Structure 1
Amino acid sequence: MIGLVVVSHSAKAAEGIRDIAAQMGGGDARIEPAGGDGDDGEGIGTDANRIGEAVDAADDGDGVVVLVDLGSAVMNTELALEMTDAEAVVADAPVLEGALNAAVETTSSKATLDSVVESAEDAREYRKLND
């Protein structure tokens, strides 16, 4: 099964997004949070080592899709992916909506790394209000 990693500057936000995506998207999805900075993850920021550990934990050999919140999360995720042997890609998607879409897709028996990324990135087009 394709794994997911949620990277946020806040450990609590990463955990919350993971919880929402798991509950609404399918309880079988493998989703790891990677948030916060510092040794305990309590600071605001991102940490390449923490992200790499989450990628490795989410990987069962089928690949991992990573969703990120802001600027340095992308940079630290790219660094983390250079340090892991997992096949992993970053989805260019809103972190919550993308994680939810990706979680749903991972539960499909036909899910691939590309289809999960595509599902996550489809969330870029969602409108919350009608004009």
Structure 2
Amino acid sequence: MIGILVVCHSFKAADGIVEIASQMAGEKVRVVGVGGNEEGGLGTSTANIYEGLDKLLMECDGVVVIPDLGSAVLSTKAALDFLPEDQKSKVVIADAPVLEGTVLASVEASTGSPVEKVRQVAESAHLLKKLTN
């Protein structure tokens, strides 16, 4: 099973995205969200991201991280530095829109796809069109 870690600057945003993606993908995929700083305000927490990664890596064969903004990527990379190499190699960061990418990735993961395919599908969310005109 591939896990999805949503990293947002807001706990509420992360929680909402996880709720939507989990309902779309069902029980075959584990989606976890982390958001906000250590004080509960807006921001990101390397410690919280590490905790989310550690939790998912105990249950999953690989993890796709989907961050909301650039500094969430930096915090994720910092959290990765604390993982042993064998675990770090199981984690990829997707350059994807956080909501759409998470939903697509979660559905793809639910089909049993490997981590790289799940990342690619998340990143394909850049191509989604909401309006046709």
TM-score (norm 2): 0.91
Map 1:1-12 onto structure 2 (within 5 A): 1-12=1-12
The 8 Å contact of residues 3 and 60 in structure 2, kept in 1 or not, is answered as: no
Q: Report how far residue 106 of structure 1 moved.
A: 1.0
Which residue of structure 1 aligns with residue 55 of structure 2?
57
Which residue of structure 1 aligns with residue 23 of structure 2?
23
Which residue of structure 1 aligns with residue 73 of structure 2?
74
Q: How many Å separate the matches in 1 of 2:34 and 2:83?
A: 15
Q: Report how far residue 38 of structure 1 moved.
A: 1.7
Q: How many Å separate the matches in 2 of 1:18 and 1:71?
A: 20
Farther off after superposition, 80-89 or 49-58: 80-89
In the alignment, residue 47 of structure 2 is paired with which amino acid? Answer: N
The 8 Å contact of residues 91 and 117 in structure 1, kept in 2 or not, is answered as: yes
In the alignment, residue 127 of structure 1 is paired with which amino acid? Answer: K
Q: Residue deviations 1:79-106, cap 9 Å, x none? A: 1111123221100000010100111111
Q: Residue deviations 1:38-77, cap 9 Å, x none? A: 24xx210001110011011112351100000012101001
Which residue of structure 1 aligns with residue 43 of structure 2?
45
Higher helix share: 2
1:91 aligns with 2:88: no
Please report the RMSD computed on the Cα atoms of aligned residues, expressed in angstroms. 1.2
Aligned length: 128
Gaps of 5+ in 1: none
The residue matched to 2:65 in structure 1 has which SS? strand
Q: How many Å separate the matches in 2 of 1:96 and 1:61?
A: 21
TM-score (norm 1): 0.92
